Structure 1
Amino acid sequence: MKQASVVLLASSLAVTAAACSGGQGGGTAAPQPGQEAQPPKLTSLTYWVANHSAAAAQMKTYAEMESYKELENITGVKVEFQHPPLDAQQQKEQFNLVMASSQLPDVIETIWTSNYPGGPEKAIQDGKIIKLNDYIDKYAPNLKKLLADHPDWKKQIMTDEGSIYAFPFLRGGDKVRVFFGPGIRQDWLDKLGLKMPTTIDEWYAVLKAFKERDPNGNGKADEIPFYIDKAMIGVDAPFLGAWGINYGFYQDKGKVMYGPIQPEYKEFLATMNKWYKEGLLDKDFAAPNDKLYDNKMTTNLLGASVFYNGGGIGKYANLMKDKDPSFKLVAAPYPVLKPGDKPIWGQKDFASNGVGAAVSTSNKNPIETVKWLDYAYGEKGDLLFNYGKEGVSYKMENGRAVFLPEVLNPPSGVSLQQSFAKHNRSTWSGPYVLSDNFQTQYLALPAQKDALAIWSAPTAERKMPLVTPTKDESSKFASVMTDIETYRDEMLLKFIMGAEPIDNFDKYVKRIQGMGIEDALKIQQAALERYSKR
């Protein structure tokens, strides 16, 4: 990421911006690099990307974000962002509608490894997005250098066939790859004289004490000891991971397995069913509601759950600092079955999570668009996308970007994530490299720094890399897994809530086997072996 290359890039983009428009293409296939002696000048782009709630709370479009306003000043390129609704299902539906159109936005950002049926290679073969390898080689010096310096990153952002399909979101170091895990009210533990639980049995004893010994001190039996829903279970298996499995596919010494049909999964379900029957598990867990969850946390009712570091531990510390000075939410270790065991499962992202900004085949100016996207991966782009505009959200001190106090200390009612969202996308994702320096400032509280260390302990040795099925495998895999996952989610709730007896677990496994899980396992096994050969 040499500064000289960035200056040259910024200059070339500023020059191209002086000419007439471009960007809204006509559906023809993009030219290959080098075919155009004088590529059209770029002054505008259409850019489809899902919005984020922290940004949507204070602006209509990413175009109002400080980093994108400054990027327009630098490059002269005006971006029309197209945001679907915040609801995940509506986002998926609108993405499918967009991809079915003959007139695509110039840039499309999504999780290509999972959101496009058949994966990113099929999106290239279907003529929706362009293969970027040659474009990056010729016109994206910043990303080219990063991938040369980090061949493991390059392996993660390409398909089995070797295609690079998008400008990727990359987590640059270990400190930005761990951000989720179990949490507990330390002030409740202290009040009851309890130690931090580390095993499933110890958790049971603590949750029973939360239920029976009035840790919130209001004289009522209103405490909710523990909350976990199916979405939380799916994020690298908190609690379920104590049994060595997860809620989907995993690999054990190179062999692909499916967690929800293993005998250990039955033991997990039996444990959760016991907790539910004894009132230790929130009765509302089957119908997640963010506002209701927030209310339980901020009215001193909820004792433990799983949390994001910034959007959980940091969020509630900020919301409660004036309301209840004794409030102390802290990270807990990922639980194990036996004292002294090393946790296997825990949340830790790879450098790439599949999010990336692809150039569509409707884009009339792919070369200049590639140059525009590449800016984020250079030295100045790194500052812009991680921190925002110098003097507005950060200043330089001893060669290091440091956020201004007004950004790090937002007014009451504004979360730290919302404060950052006015300036950048660093608290979620985007086509740039997330910096460890950003993370150490975002996780400003001692409890957040402790959480990073505590949640980093699991080995994550069984986690599947971001494998993809082939074009021929994709439709079969999608049809099989859509039905299986719907049934799996339905039965998770029934087993835990007692609507389905645990004794019927074998019948449940046989039904999943009858739905084609063995075919899906073979596809995943082949995909893992292809990934290993990339």
Structure 2
Amino acid sequence: MRKKLALILGCVLSVSTLLSACGSNAQSAGSASASNVSAASGADTGLSEPGQFPLVKEKTTIKALIGWGTQTDINKNWNTLDYEEKTNVHVEWQVASAGDFREKRALVIASGDLPDVFLNGYNDFTAADEMQYGSQGSIIPLNNIIDKNSIYLKKIFDENPLYRKIATSPDGNIYSMPTFSVCYHCDYSQKMWVNVAWLNKLNMQMPTTTDEFEQMLAAFKEKDPNGNGKADEMPLMTTTDGWHYQLEGFLMNAFVHCDADTHLALNNGNIEMTAIKPEFKEGLKYLNNLYKKKLIPPQAFTTNATSMQKLNESGDAEVVGAIPGGANYIFAGGPAVSDRWRDYDILPPIAGPNGFKSAPNYSATRDIITGDVAISSAAKDPALIMRWIDWLYSEEGTLWHDTNGGREGTEYRKADAGEVGLDGNPAKWTSLKVRKPEDNVVWEQFFPSNMTKEFRAGWKSPREWNVPNDSQAPEVQLFQGTKAYEAVAPRNEDSLPNLFVTSDKISDYTRIKTGIDDYIKESVVKFITGNMDVEKDWDSYVEKMKKIGLDDYLKMAQDAYDAKFKN
């Protein structure tokens, strides 16, 4: 997804210094050759040759702070136990929930009692974080370590020079390791989901315009489509967190191009704030109208994603009619929980009053998700940590801890002749079971990996998504439903990359960006619910944005873009 440079919402990659020794009896840790990797020192450090298991001769302990997004015990996870046996590295885990990780990390860094490595997941080290913590010396530069010692990450950089450029901060350093995730449906993930079981019961079609969307919601509210005799339907719902949960995301794109994560857009090389455009104002009027007609319930602004899923999965019937989100886990548990997810399908982009429709293109931000792993200045052996992470970028390592992977013969098998993958080409692997979260087998996306387009497409897939007992069915649904979004999204070169701001400006940039983001989020809710009047309060809303520092923010962003990406 990050194939074109203008689409690179980049952050940073990180790897660590590598010392090398013999280890002639070590078992191979993958198919890539280690012969081209030079040691940082000729001394016998106790490390095996790069690319070989075990990584170290004597059992070694490292300390890691991780944002762990499940309720399971990472110490009992199969990947954790198996990797300690493979590598001879024991990990003392400091665990924070995914939602609390940033706060926990800030407290740990402020205390000075640093772990050896931060395992963040999902871009939790932003470009601003990397510049701040890198310049402070809390995390270390990794450039030479990657070039001299990494096998798999170095190979990815060598084959994709743009990835290295994206990962490099303005001071020339690489401060973190990424995840590579060429995920087609993630490229266009600001989606809307609709309960098609309700539509079928009401003999209605998927809406194609904002007017038809409102008519659909009204029918959901008035005609008891879940059939339980209660007025418990929530026509349009959202949550307070999650993946592209914002109401102004999908629907605003019927009025103006809107990336609800940043509210910024690239227009002929110029960075603009879409949340102050007249079209954005019109979109807010539309959303406020839906709320006034009770088509958006008040609890939409107080319910988190976990509670939303429980609400829709419990009881005698589904209660959600339409909901924004990057995937169906926002409102349903998926195959591991129940079959209710099958009642929802992806709504293609709809046209607004002037016929406009659009969708953000996140290709660059999803192909290379930077900021996943950073090595702290407290690490005694960055070389070991680098090797410990590096194997996860191999196809074997990615399969070993992928959502669909794990143990060959238990979670998956090699595909048979005639089985096809997501793109119609011969499959490489077949899932054997629908794994439940409590199985606690793999690390999933909380650790870095290299999920190439070919890797994702290599899983045996059904031709249609609404089939029973197939763990790949949701992926097929996402693949098929994404095509309509790609058709109306900007080209790669017309999309805004993430930006590295120089260290002398990072404090001001971060402060203003946080202030603007928080103010937009707060104001959008108030405009929708009527606590701010779209007509009467619009000018003061725009003026407040400028007082926070909008003009300076846009200038710093433009300077950062021009310095790195402008031809």
- Decide: shared fold, TM above 0.5: yes
Answer yes or no: is the 8 Å Cα contact 2:237–2:296 preserved in 1: yes
CA contact (8 A) 1:317 1:329 kept: no
Aligned equivalent of 2:480, options 450, 460, 480: 450
Match status 1:393 vs 2:407: no
- In the alignment, is residue 123 of structure 1 matched against residue 133 of structure 2? yes
One-letter identity of the residue aligned with 1:121: M
What is the identity, as a one-letter code, of the residue corresponding to 2:289? K
1:206 aligns with 2:224: no
Q: Which runs of 5+ in 1 are unaligned?
A: 1-8, 17-31
1:423 lines up with 2:441 in the alignment: yes
C-alpha displacement at 1:346, in angstroms?
Answer: 5.6
Cα distance, 1:76 vs structure 2: 1.3
SS at match of 1:46: strand
Compare 130-139 and 487-496 and name the one that shifted more.
Answer: 487-496
SS of structure 2 residue aligned to 1:256: strand
CA distance in structure 2 between the aligned counterparts of 1:171 and 1:205, rounded to whole angstroms: 38
Partner of 2:553: 520
Q: Pick the structure with more helix per residue.
A: 1
Q: Structure 1's 12 and 459: CA in aligned 2 closer, same or farther, altered over 3 A? A: farther
Residue 37, structure 1, aligned to residue 43, structure 2: yes
**Which residue pairs with 1:26 in the alignment?**
none
3-state DSSP class of the match of 2:300? coil
CA contact (8 A) 1:181 1:347 kept: no
Query: 1:51 maps to which residue?
Result: 68
Aligned residues: 491
2:432 is the counterpart of 1:405? yes
* One-letter identity of the residue aligned with 1:160: P
User: Counterparts of 2:186 and 2:359 in 1: how far apart (Å)?
Assistant: 19
Is the Cα contact below 8 Å between 1:226 and 1:305 reproduced in 2?
yes
Instruction: Report what 1:468 is aligned to.
Output: 500
Query: 1:94-133: per-residue Cα shift (whole Å, max 9, x none)?
Result: 1112222434211112369764684313422221222111
Shift of 1:519: 0.7
The change in CA–CA distance for 1:108 and 1:370 in structure 2 (over 3 A counts) is: same
How far does the alpha carbon of each residue in 1:443-463 deviate from its partner, in whole angstroms, 9 at most, with x for none? 424544433444444424454
Where has structure 1 moved over 6 Å in runs of 4 or more?
A: 111-114
Q: Which amino acid aligns with 1:34?
A: A
Paired residue for 1:190? 200
Alignment of 1:278-427 (within 5 A): 278-298=293-313, 299-309=317-327, 311-312=329-330, 315-316=333-334, 319-321=337-339, 328-337=343-352, 343-345=358-360, 349-386=365-402, 387-397=405-415, 402-406=429-433, 408=434, 410=435, 414=436, 418=437, 422-426=440-444
1:433 to 450, 461, 483: 450
Please, which of 71, 87, 92 is the counterpart of residue 75 of structure 1? 87
- 2:8 paired residue number: none
Partner of 1:140: 150
Please give the per-residue CA displacement for 1:299-341, whole angstroms capped at 9, x wherever unaligned.
Answer: 32211102343524773566443xx79x611111122326875
Q: Distance in 1 between matches of 2:305 and 2:225?
A: 24
- Inter-CA distance 276–175: structure 2 relative to 1 (3 Å threshold): closer
CA distance in 2, matches of 1:304, 1:459: 22
Residue 208 of structure 1: how far off its partner (Å) = 1.6
Sequence identity (%): 24
Of 382-391 and 444-453, more deviation after overlay is shown by: 444-453
Contact 1:119 1:469 in 2 (8 A): no
Deviates more, 1:173-182 or 1:472-481: 173-182
Give, in angstroms, the shift of residue 394 of structure 1. 2.1
1:99 counterpart residue number = 109
Q: How many angstroms apart in 2 are the aligned matches of 1:377 and 1:235? A: 35
Q: 1:263 matched to which residue of 2? A: 278
Is the contact made by 2:246 and 2:324 (CA closer than 8 Å) also made in structure 1?
Answer: no
Change (3 A) 1:207 1:468: same
